[in-house]
Every structure is written in structure tokens, then in C-alpha cells.
Amino acid sequence: MNTRSFYKIYIALFCICCAIIIAGCAQEKKAKKQDPEKSKAIKEWNKTIPGNFSAEQNRFLDSLEIDSFITKYPLFQSYAAAIREFYDGRKLAYAWYADNRLIEQAGNLSDRVRNLQNEGISKETPYRNILDSLLYAKATGTPDVKLELMLTANYFVFAKLAWEGMDPAISKSSQWYLPRKKMSYAAYLDSLISTPKKASNSAAPVYRQYDLLKQHLSHYRDLQKEDPSWTPITSTTKSYKPGDSAAPIAAVKKRLFKLGDFKGDTLNYFYDRALETAMKQFQSRHGLPADGVIGKGTLNEMNVPLTRRIRQILVNMERSRWLPVHIDSVYLGVNIPEFKLHVYQSDSLLWSCNVVVGQSVHRTVIFSGDMKYVVFSPYWNVPESIVRNEIIPSMKRNPGYIKSHKMEITGYNGRIPTVRQKPGPQNSLGLVKFLFPNSYNIYLHDSPAKSLFNESSRAFSHGCIRVGEPFKLAAFLLQNYDNWDEQKIKNSMNRGVEQYVTLRHKIPVFIAYFTAFTDRKNLLNFRKDIYSRDEALAKMLIED
């Protein structure tokens, strides 16, 4: 049934209702109860009233016009289903017009499409010149179906590029096994148009880091225009500390001023207290020991070319497109290059602690799971690869190796022994582990090697994640459980008998990989690409 036939039915039903009402009033003015047939007719007619429309409710498309538009502009073919879904949800009502004028959101969309580089996108939407010319010609006057559909098509292209990101095959090729977000961009557009004030104040349908990184992208691009050479700062002295005076210190001040860390006098050569504060902030933002000493490592980070920093921001904006927009619950997040565990309640950061992650040859996998168990005084079931590559050679060198390391052989898989380490302070998992069952055999756990948590770079494990504050995490997870007070948790950790506690509610755990991110003070942070994942993605992103 086409739209014109629909309208004829609407008019017929409306006339029937009016006739019923008029006839009823004329023949039986005293009757107080409605005629059942009349009520049914009105009810059926009301069902045809569009529900979530903008002010422009009296203009409708013909579905054939959508088909013709897609045929004429074939580069929108991959978005055809989304376009039809959007207009089906609106009963084919126009979206971008009110009172025969384009609504404000049309101009907003056009501006964002025209400035895709601000979104970290290096390509253009299809037929942008046609959109611009249509907007210029039809700012006022009778609604234009071509402009209506061109705006909608460009919205879906923009949503794909700026909010959804590259094809899932790309993220998988980057060994990113976190689930990609799923959402209806058609529903978001309908909300954007129907409730403009509410939509304009709400965040874009993308993980919060995206917009934060976008702000810093603009700043770094401005820096690159102002200082394209970004001349490296050199020094013949091993390091500088507060109280020193030298020409390179002035250069350091100027650089930190440009980066936003330093606010003082950039002309003098004296290492003063203001510079020390700025230096510690810079070091903290780059994952360095925040000791205020200007050494080789600190200068190396200052001298990283702006083009490389911009690429880092672009890559991590893309990763932000892949994540869920919002999680309305308690969850744990591990950022591998940051060597940090973060505990969240929705978007509120509750606390953080240091972690140790996998070495470059034993990479921690980027994935998610649901934490289900807290295990006190755990056994360590040694993976077969570690038994083969490390324990068997050690047993050959030292026949007493198994006993001295509190291990035991529980069986054999062919000629490979099945080995586990007994609970206790020597156990490689420490005194507690946190399980979220997964096919990668990765979990969080304590560690007897406490000194490693004080290192600035903490990639030492075989893939699992060692937690710097295991007692605090156990207490947090069991805080609302009867009989699990702090003393009982401490006793269970040191009892030497393995004990499983099943969590009543599973806790989502996200293990991610961000080498550029903003912290809670909105300071831009950079971390080393310890698994060399950035450059391959940058090439695909920029070349694409």
C-alpha cells in the first residue's frame, strides 16, 4: 500500500468518525454512553497518528522516493536499510523541517560533516558538495525531498565514521576482542530531532573518552601549525633538578607552557618551584616517575614529534568508538599500557591501583568477562607452556625444584607433568585470585613480588594481571556480604586452604588498550605502546 492510499484511508476513517458523532448527537442527544462502533472507529484512527514527530507532522514522504534517492546516489546504498528503518519509525514523516523551514539540527549536521577532520576522520562524506548546494538553495521555502533525504543519509554516514568506527574486522585484526557497542543510530536521530533541547545537552552516542580526546586533538593540531619543527631540546648535562640554572631549562619551560603544564616565566634559566610542579605533572601524564628531575627519559617524552602524538590521539579516538557508551553498574577496567586497574560505579571512578600485565612475549589479551569468583588461598595450576618451557628445565638442573617451590605433580599429560603450586605466601598467585571464566585463561590475582608494583613500566607477567591492592579489591567485592568483614577476609587469605566465594552478582571486567587518554582532571595522558599496536591501526585509519 502506498502513501497516497494510506491518506485516503485516513480521510475516510475521519469522515466516518465525524458522521457517527454528528448522527449520534442529532438522534440521541440525551444518551451519555458512547456508541461502541464509534469508539472503535476513533481508536483505530488514533493508531495511525505518528508518535514521535518533530513539529512538521503534515508532510510525508513516499517510500518510492527513498528508493529513487538511493538509486540516484548509489554511494549511500550501504545505508539504505538504516534510512528506511528511520522513516518507517516515523511513518514516513519529514524529519528536518518544521513550519516549512529547516530545523536547527540540519545546520549543525552540515557543520560537522564539513569538518570531519575535527572528529579525527581524514575522509569526506559522499556527495557533500550536493548537500552544500541544496542547503544554500533551500534554507527557506517548500520542503525539498532531496535535501530531506540527503541530510538523513549524511547523518548515517557521519554516525558510521565518527561514532561507530571502522569495520569490526579491523578491530579483530588488532586483537581487540572487547565486544563492539551496539546501538540504533536511527533511534538516536529521532531523539535528536524530536527533543532538540534535550539532545543538544546530551553526550554523543560514543564512549566519553572520544569527546575528551577530540578537544586535545584540536590543541595539538594548533601546536603543530604554530611550531611545525618541534625542535628537540638537548642537554649536555645528565639531569636538572630544582635549584639548577642552565639555558636548556628555559627551553623546557617554553615547551611545558605550550603543552599546558607550566604557567610561569618562560624566559629565565632557573629551575624554580613552579617548574617543579609543572614537571611532576608532565611526568605523571606520561607514565614517568614524578620526581621532578629533568633527565633523559623526560626529555625524550618532551621531544616526541607532534605528528606522532596526533597519530596516538587519532588511534585512541578510534578505539573509543568501539567501546560501550555507558555501563550502569559497578565494573572493573584495566588499561594495559597504563598498568592500572580502575574500579567504577557507572561513570564515577571509585578508586584505582597499580597492576602488572603481560610481557611483550606473553601479551595480556584485550577482552571482557564477568567476574564470578573470589578465591582465597588459591592453588596455582601451572599452565602447560610454563611447565614445558620453565619448570621441566629447572627440574633437570635441580631435582629438588618442585619441593623447594611448594609445588606438586598431580598427574601427567603424556610426558608432561601436571603441576600445581600449593597455597601460601610463596604461591605465584599470592593470597587471593579473582576469576572471570574465559577461554584465554586470564584472571586477576595477588603476587608475592610486591616490589614490581613500584616500577614505572610493569609488563612482567605471563599474561595474567597482578593486582597491587588485592585485599582492597576483595573487600570491595564482598562489602555487602554477610559475615565477610575485613578480619575474615584477612584470615581466609592467610589460612592456606583454598576457598571459593561465588559472587551474587557478576561484575563486568574490561581489559582495554589505550595509549592516549584523559584523566579525571581532564589532563591528556600518553603511554608507551608496549605491544606495538598503534602504528598498524594508525596506517589503516589514516590511509582509509
**What are 45-76's pLDDT values in tens digits?**
233 222 233 444 568 999 999 999 999 999 99
Are 463 and 371 part of one and the same domain? Answer: yes
In percent, the amount of the chain with pLDDT more than 70 equals 87
CA atoms within 13 A on the CB side of 246: 16
- Report whether pLDDT(395) > 60: yes
Confidence band for 125, pLDDT divided at 50, 70 and 90: very high
Whole-Å CA distances, 33 to 19, 25, 29, 539 = 17, 12, 11, 73
Cell 575535527 belongs to 118
Are 173 and 110 part of one and the same domain? Answer: yes
State the residue range of the domain holding 289: 237-304
In percent, the amount of the chain with pLDDT more than 90 equals 76
Are 22 and 153 part of one and the same domain? Answer: no
Are 117 and 156 part of one and the same domain? Answer: yes
Query: What is the Cα–Cα distance from 367 to 99, expressed in whole angstroms?
Result: 49
Are 406 and 432 part of one and the same domain? Answer: no
Are 136 and 193 part of one and the same domain? Answer: yes
Task: Specify if 294 maps to a domain.
Answer: yes
Q: Which of 220, 287, 207, 177 is nearest to 533 (CA)?
A: 177
Q: How many structural domains is the chain composed of?
A: 5
Are 170 and 96 part of one and the same domain? Answer: yes
Q: Which of 89, 61, 74, 62 is nearest to 153 (CA)?
A: 74
Q: What is the pLDDT of residue 136?
A: 84
Are 200 and 72 part of one and the same domain? Answer: yes
Q: In this structure, how many other beta carbons lie within 10 angstroms of the beta carbon of residue 238? A: 9
Task: Specify if 227 maps to a domain.
Answer: no
Contact 96, 138 (CB under 8 A): no
Q: What is the pLDDT of residue 541?
A: 85
- Give the pLDDT mean for 334-343: 98
Active site residues: 445, 464
Query: What is the Cα–Cα distance from 343 to 353, expressed in whole angstroms?
Result: 9
pLDDT in tens, 184-237: 888 888 877 776 554 444 567 899 999 999 999 999 999 999 999 999 999 988
Are 355 and 451 part of one and the same domain? Answer: yes
Are 411 and 344 part of one and the same domain? Answer: no
**DSSP 8-state code for residue 361:** T
- Give the pLDDT mean for 15-40: 43
Task: Specify if 317 maps to a domain.
Answer: no
User: Which one has a higher pLDDT value, 29 or 522?
Assistant: 522
Contact 338, 514 (CB under 8 A): yes
